[in-house]
Amino acid sequence: MRKTMTSAAAAAIIGLLGTQAHPQQLQPLAPAPDFDKVVIKTTDLGNKTYMLEGEGGNITVAVANDGVIMVDSQFAPLHDKIKAAVAAITSQPIRYLLITHFHRDHTGGNEAFGKDGATIVAHENVKARLASGTRNGLTGNVVPPAPAIALPKETFKDTMTVRLQGRSAELRHPADIHTDGDTYIYFSDANVLVTGDMVVFGRYPNIDFAYGGSIDGMIRGVDELIQFAKDDTKIVPGHGPLGTKAMMREYRQMLADARERIQKLKAAGKTEDEIVAARPNADYDAKYRMDERSIGNFIRVVYRSLKN
């Protein structure tokens, strides 16, 4: 008996064929860090608040009377070094681990710190991404699901406040910025704003277009942060050195310039590879001194996140 294909099935096949006809080229993975050589650098931000730099996302540590609120956990192999750096600051235990987004250079230590007794807190989408596992839109690299102990025990939708004795952290979620689960965190008593990867200094950001991020979202998110911050607020970026509100404005200008240049070339019919070869952000490439892979990847994530 002859079977008739449904319109839905036909549309699905046509969509699949269209995807196969124009495959997006996968990019090489970044070189693996040598974790044995990583040194954790501690910067005192005042009022018992600190920034830790190592390999991966910056960490913020806020010491309260009865424990520590820590933001992000870098890569799993650095747990012992991070824990030692915190112990050099205070004998108080890490009671809360706040997560700015799901990428494993910010969440790799979750499992170990969770086993240490820290309560992990993040936006509800972060829990979903960690629980299901993810796939990098540029490289195709698959990150498996995180174990239950590494998942947030407390989640929120829009805003949340985490408190210990004498300290509080204000968590805010702007929708679809660099991912679909970004959180920025403000420690009002220290006037410290932690941006996660919504803001990075001295380099190009990674825009996770596969999970809700876009160049337009990044610009919108940075506008929100600029409006939120005071002129003297200390900015802990996702990556790079401690910054200021003025530095965020410069960063916002770079994002806007890159968007305009890449959109113009895309509208003119240039392919992704042609735009990479054209080096539209040559002035910023020189300023940041980024390698070819990083320069190309930034163009690609902007290109793919722009609406046709």
- Is pLDDT at 22 greater than 70 in this prediction? no
Question: At the topology level of CATH, where does 32-250 sit?
Answer: Metallo-beta-lactamase; Chain A (3.60.15)
pLDDT-derived band at 281 (thresholds 50, 70, 90) equals very high
- Is pLDDT at 135 greater than 50 in this prediction? yes
Residue with tokens 């112990």: 87
- Dump pLDDT digits (tens) for 171-196: 999 999 999 999 999 999 999 999 99
What three-state secondary structure class fits 63? strand
Average pLDDT over all residues of the chain: 92
- Domain spans of the chain, in order of start: 32-250
Three-state DSSP string of the chain: CCCCCCHHHHHHHHHHHHHHHCCCCCCCCCCCCCHHHCCCEEEEEECCEEEEECCCCCEEEEECCCCEEEECCCCHHHHHHHHHHHHHHCCCCEEEEECCCCCHHHHCCHHHHHHHCCEEEEEHHHHHHHHHCEECCCCCCEECCCCHHHCCCEEECCEEEEEECCEEEEEECCCCCCCCCCCEEEECCCCEEEEECCCCCCCCCCCCHHHCCCHHHHHHHHHHHHHHCCCCCEEEECCCCCECHHHHHHHHHHHHHHHHHHHHHHHCCCCHHHHHHHCCCHHHHHHHCCCHHHHHHHHHHHHHHCCC
pLDDT-derived band at 263 (thresholds 50, 70, 90) equals very high
Question: What average pLDDT does this structure show over 210-233?
Answer: 98
**pLDDT at 159 (0 to 100):** 98
- Is pLDDT at 20 greater than 70 in this prediction? no
What percent of the chain stands above pLDDT 90? Answer: 89
**pLDDT at 54 (0 to 100):** 97
pLDDT-derived band at 29 (thresholds 50, 70, 90) equals confident
Residue 177, Cβ neighbours under 10 Å: how many? 31
CA distance 163 to 49: 14
Question: What average pLDDT does this structure show over 201-227?
Answer: 98
**pLDDT at 6 (0 to 100):** 38
Question: What average pLDDT does this structure show over 115-139?
Answer: 97
* Neighbouring C-alpha atoms within 13 Å toward the C-beta of 305: 30
pLDDT-derived band at 307 (thresholds 50, 70, 90) equals confident
